[in-house]
Amino acid sequence: MKVDSPRFELHDADSGEPAILELSGDWVQGQTLPRFAMLRPQLTDTRATQLSLDTDNLGEWDSRLMAFLLQCRNCCDQQDIKFDASALPDSAQRLLHIATTVPRHQRQGEPPRHWWQIGNPLALLRKTGRNVVQSVAFFGAVCIALGRLLGGRANTRFVDFWHFCYQTGPNAFAIISLTSLLVGMILAYLGAAQLQQFGAEIYVADLVVIGVLREMGVLMTAVVIAGRTGAAYAAQLGTMQANEEIDAIITMGISPIEFLVTPRILALLVMMPLLTIYANLLGILGGALVSAGMGISMLQYAGHASDAVSLTHIGIGLTKSVVFGALIAIAGCRAGIQSGRDSAAVGQAATQAVVTSLIYLIVADAAINILCQQLDI
């Protein structure tokens, strides 16, 4: 079948007479089609009050002819030109009719944002301020829910609590083992290299024990849990938001904070210290492995290590673990509960949960360390 190249031609006429738009050729895939933009200036110039079509030489056509005709029709309406489609094939006439029955929607609301508005420091400041206010409000709501739990009046299911404990704790053993063992080894290498210069390698044990107990054990555990559990919390709650499950909980008269957030927070409050103790043990073991490789016997290492261990160090580490656990759970749950309702928003919530928890962790860690410094502990 021979395919003719698609064309149009406007035969203008004086006012009173209809202008004729001649369409010819095959308007199908593989052809370069004329653009409506070429016809528009001619239409705006014409003084004719009616536009008729001549389709005698029109061959095959697809949606692009219809798109062309629709633009043509809309342009005629704007110019108060009567558009006479009667020369079109029946199906094209019907399609054009369907496409023009509903008037076009005019978008209202916010004007488009420009790049300079995105970086606007005032707007950023306002957004951050709003965020802080919301965080504080969420924290307050959580405190109230925990208070009600202590008073025995909360709608919190303990089945959920055990379930989350299991997810957070035992399921994370493998990855916590790996990271904390390696962190212990890294600390030992780092310390040994410096201490060797003074012939004081034996103090590697002190360095590893204090470093792991006070700082690295709990911090690495928290980072792992933020990525693992915090993000999971946000994704779970975000999906529930998208499925209108949270709406269902609210309309049943149950507080979503008590029902969804409390068990998750409690699970992290319980599991974080336990995981931290485990991570501390493995970190010290990692240090011992490296020391053994440097000619310090296990016995020497153990002797120095047991001298260095003190309840203060352990206590500081565990305090941090409780604080970090609460912060991770709050960041994750808040991101999830305030998530949008589509699949992309759930992904954003998970990202936001991890980013926020990491910021919380670093800030809280610094604050606690400064406090300890000031109090001489």
Partner 1 sequence: MTDDTAVDIEVRDLTMAFGANVVQRDLNFDIKRGDIFVIIGGSGCGKSTLLKHMLGLIEPARGEILYRGESFTRATNAERDVMRRRWGITYQSGGLFGAMTLAQNISLPLQLYTDYTAAEIRDVVDYKLSLVGLGGFEGYFPAEISGGMEKRAALARAIALDPDILFFDEPSAGLDPISSRLLDELIAQLKESIGATVVMVSHELASIFEIATNSVYLDADSHTMLDYGDPRMLRDHSEQPIVRQFLSRSTEHQEEPANE
Question: Residue 91 CB, nearest distance to partner 1 (Å)?
Answer: 4
Nearest distance from C-beta of residue 72 to partner 1, angstroms: 11
Sign for the CA dihedral angle at 70, 74, 75, 76 comes to positive
Q: How far is the CB of 78 from partner 1 (least distance, A)?
A: 14
Contact 12, 19 (CB under 8 A): yes
In angstroms, give the least distance from the CB of 97 to partner 1: 9
Of 135, 161, 376, 177, the C-alpha closest to 270 is: 161
Q: At 17, give phi and psi (nearest 5°).
A: -90, 145
Within 68-87, which residues bind partner 1 (CB under 8 A)?
68, 70-71
Smallest separation (angstroms) from partner 1 to the CB of 30: 7
Judged by beta carbon, residue 63 or residue 351, the one nearer partner 1 is 63
CA–CA dist 50, 92 (Å, integer) = 19
Task: Tell me if 66 contacts partner 1 by CB under 8 A.
Answer: yes
Q: How would you classify residue 30: left for phi > 0, otherwise alpha for psi between -120 and 50, otherwise beta?
A: left
Q: How does strand 7-11 pair with strand 19-27? A: antiparallel
Site for partner 1 in 323-342 (CB under 8 A): 340-342
When asked if residue 98 is in the footprint of partner 1 (CB under 8 A), the reply is yes
- Which stretch in 100-108, 121-129, 218-226, 284-292 sits in contact with partner 1 by CB under 8 A? 100-108
Q: Which is nearer to partner 1, 92 or 212 (CB)?
A: 92
User: Binding residue for partner 1 (CB under 8 A) from 102, 118, 252, 311?
Assistant: 102
Four-point Cα dihedral 327, 333, 337, 340, nearest 10: 90
Q: Find the binder of partner 1 among 30, 111, 121, 199 (CB under 8 A).
A: 30
CB of 41 to partner 1, least distance (A): 17
Distance (Å, whole) CA 273 – CA 217? 11
Give the integer Cα–Cα distance in Å for 49 and 139: 68
Q: Which stretch binds partner 1 (CB under 8 A): 93-101, 114-122, 223-231, 232-240?
A: 93-101
Under the criterion CB under 8 A, does residue 63 sit at the interface with partner 1?
A: yes
10 and 43 Cβ atoms separated by less than 8 Å: yes
Least Å from the CB of residue 33 to partner 1: 7
With beta carbons less than 8 A apart as the criterion, state whether 161 and 267 touch: yes
Q: Is 91 in the site for partner 1 (CB under 8 A)?
A: yes
Nearer to partner 1, 28 or 270 (CB): 28
Region 257-276 residues binding partner 1, contact defined as CB under 8 A: none
Looking at 67, 186, 355, 364, which residue binds partner 1 (CB under 8 A)? Answer: 67
What burial class does residue 274 get, using C-beta atoms within 10 Å of its C-beta: 0-12 exposed, 13-18 middle, 19+ buried?
A: middle
d(CA 348, CA 87): 53
Can residue 99 be called a binding residue for partner 1 (CB under 8 A)?
A: yes
Give the SS3 label for residue 295: coil
Q: Does 94 contact partner 1 by CB under 8 A?
A: yes
Contact flag: residue 1 with partner 1 (CB under 8 A): no
> Is residue 101 part of the contact set for partner 1 (CB under 8 A)?
yes
Q: Is the dihedral of CA 18, 19, 22, 28 positive or negative?
A: negative
* Interface contacts to partner 1, rule CB under 8 A: 29-30, 33, 35-36, 62-64, 66-68, 70-71, 91-92, 94-95, 98-107, 340-345
